[in-house]
Copies of this chain bind each other. A is one copy, B any other.
Amino acid sequence: MSSESETPSSAPPPPASQPDQQALQDDESKSVSKKAAKKEAAKLEKQRRRQQEAAASIAAAALNLSVEDDTLAANYGDVPLPELQSKDPADIGNWMEVGALSEALKDQRVLVRGRAQTIRSVSKNMAFVVVRERGYTVQCVVTATPDVVSRPMVKYVSGLSRESIVDVEGIVSVPKDAIKGATQQVEIQVRKLYCVNKALPSLPINVEDAARSEVEIEKALQAGEQLVRVNQDTRLNFRVLDMRTPANQAIFRIQCQVGTIFRQFLLSEGFVEIHTPKLIAGSSEGGAAVFRLDYKGQPACLAQSPQLHKQMAICGDFGRVFEIGPVFRAEDSYTHRHLCEFTGLDVEMEIKQHYFEVMNIVDRLFVAMFDSLNKNFEKELEAVRTQYPFEPLKYLRNTLRLTFEEGIQMLKDAGVEVDPLGDLNTESERKLGQLVLEKYGTEFYILHRYPLAVRPFYTMPCYDNPAYSNSFDVFIRGEEIISGAQRVHVPEFLAECAEACGIDVKTISTYIDSFRYGAPPHGGFGVGLERVVMLFCGLNNIRKTSLFPRDPLRLAP
């Protein structure tokens, strides 16, 4: 009953046929067509059905084997549902993390749970399973041994589908040679192996394919081998699989750390974290690019930023506040750096004397953040770099500050003509980034005193020249990540500024009224979390740093 023909999938599953063999495009993600997605889904559904049948027959075969032929059947098999619903809570098990396995555990019995990343059947007597947990991998060896491991067990293991969740119990051994295919330099000599949850036998993306760097693909191509390249859209369609690559595991841990440092730094400086509403009456300050909805019969929209409410918190005596929350932009931007929903890091604070007080916070906060990432997230940065090579960010101990006029002059000296009172376009920003890097050796700097005309109406003009303003942008690797300014806190003057910008003062009366009950001078800034991570890691697309990105064409998964 154990002939090969009966269990056709005991060999490692063949690479899945899939739609992602196409070349990695320009990553601008314009190409998600609904039709293609539907087609892919239908294909997948068909595949799934076929494979469910296959899986059922495997299970049946396994059952037959264990019941009829195997006295060691209790050592392997599929974990039945009731056991996953509730083991004895008192029996907490002796679980170990894959990442914690080391030579110190030699000859000890360990128990791990992870995914069967790759399964390799060597013979009827031996199989290898690389088990992965949170990016760490260990090689597990299943060898048929009398009274310990049966041949049917080797067969069962060989038939596991990749990415299935398995519990492995065994003895730690230390092989003579270095292990190439796993992060941990020990093996587990398997005694027991149970499958907790089965993955489809054929996956829409293989995690190894998704983890491959462009360099590797190119190298293989030169050697005449065509490796699978998973494009950005396919990754996002099957994000649950894509997330499992070492680079993605690292990217979102880095993202978490950016938020953590942001918070810790600000809390230590006396800031209070607030939560402001995302549902706003009427249409937000900006105007055009908002998502509108009906709120119990009232017209409403989603907040484009917590601008109004964070300023109200300042007028409400909180002194210094920050918020981390979603920000919604209905813009039709199809670039590598725009999303329709992203995580905003927003700060607002009283100013005693000068808008530099706000810039000082930016300066110290970001230097602390970069230091912390470089120091404490070396392993994660390396995981990103392995798939997406990048140079460490160059930044100074005290962040460089240039006035807008100085920036314009640098561009001019380099032969780039730009409007001295207009905004910089993406190209000029890149160019200026390059010039600054050459001259000052930094890829992180502040450009301040922007022309008033290119800033929002509530921006405080400069005292000495109302054509400029007490405002700033901050750049990483030539791209803007932060926008900040001192705000106009005098209600009468604010109304004048709004009118001067052609805004009907009646439509923003709630905003202006907030300053009528005594308002301290104040300022603040906003940062896009995804952009910080993207630019710190030198990535080429903001979709890589958003767990479930939303752009004009993507609203799923």
Is the Cβ of B279 less than 8 Å from the Cβ of A557?
Answer: no
CA distance A200 to B512 in the complex (A): 13
Is the Cβ of B199 less than 8 Å from the Cβ of A517?
Answer: yes
Is the Cβ of A309 less than 8 Å from the Cβ of B548?
Answer: yes
Is the Cβ of A514 less than 8 Å from the Cβ of B557?
Answer: yes
Is the Cβ of B243 less than 8 Å from the Cβ of A317?
Answer: yes
Residues in chain B near residue A244, CB distance under 8 A: 316-317
Residues in chain B near residue A298, CB distance under 8 A: 555
For window 239-276 of chain A, which residues contact chain B by CB distance below 8 Å? 239-244, 248-249, 252-253, 255-256, 259-260, 263, 267, 272-276
Is the Cβ of A552 less than 8 Å from the Cβ of B296?
Answer: yes
Copies in the complex: 2
Most buried by B among A134, A238, A309: A134
Residues in chain B near residue A196, CB distance under 8 A: 520-521
Q: Which of B52, B316, B354, B486 contacts A88 (CB 8 A)?
A: B354
CA distance A352 to B294 in the complex (A): 44
Residues in chain B near residue A295, CB distance under 8 A: 291, 340, 555
Is the Cβ of A352 less than 8 Å from the Cβ of B547?
Answer: no
Does A312 interact with chain B (Cβ within 8 Å)?
Answer: yes
Residues in chain B near residue A370, CB distance under 8 A: none
For window 480-532 of chain A, which residues contact chain B by CB distance below 8 Å? 486, 489-490, 492-493, 510, 513-521, 529
Is the Cβ of B240 less than 8 Å from the Cβ of A197?
Answer: no
Residues in chain B near residue A52, CB distance under 8 A: 492
Is the Cβ of B163 less than 8 Å from the Cβ of A518?
Answer: yes
Is the Cβ of B556 less than 8 Å from the Cβ of A510?
Answer: yes
Top 10 A-B pairs, shortest CB-CB distance:
A243-B316, A199-B518, A85-B463, A293-B293, A163-B518, A87-B353, A82-B463, A89-B356, A89-B354, A86-B463
Supply 19 A–B pairs (Cβ within 8 Å), ascending by A.
A44-B513, A82-B463, A85-B461, A86-B354, A89-B354, A199-B516, A240-B315, A240-B517, A242-B316, A256-B267, A256-B272, A260-B273, A274-B547, A277-B341, A278-B278, A279-B291, A309-B548, A309-B557, A325-B325
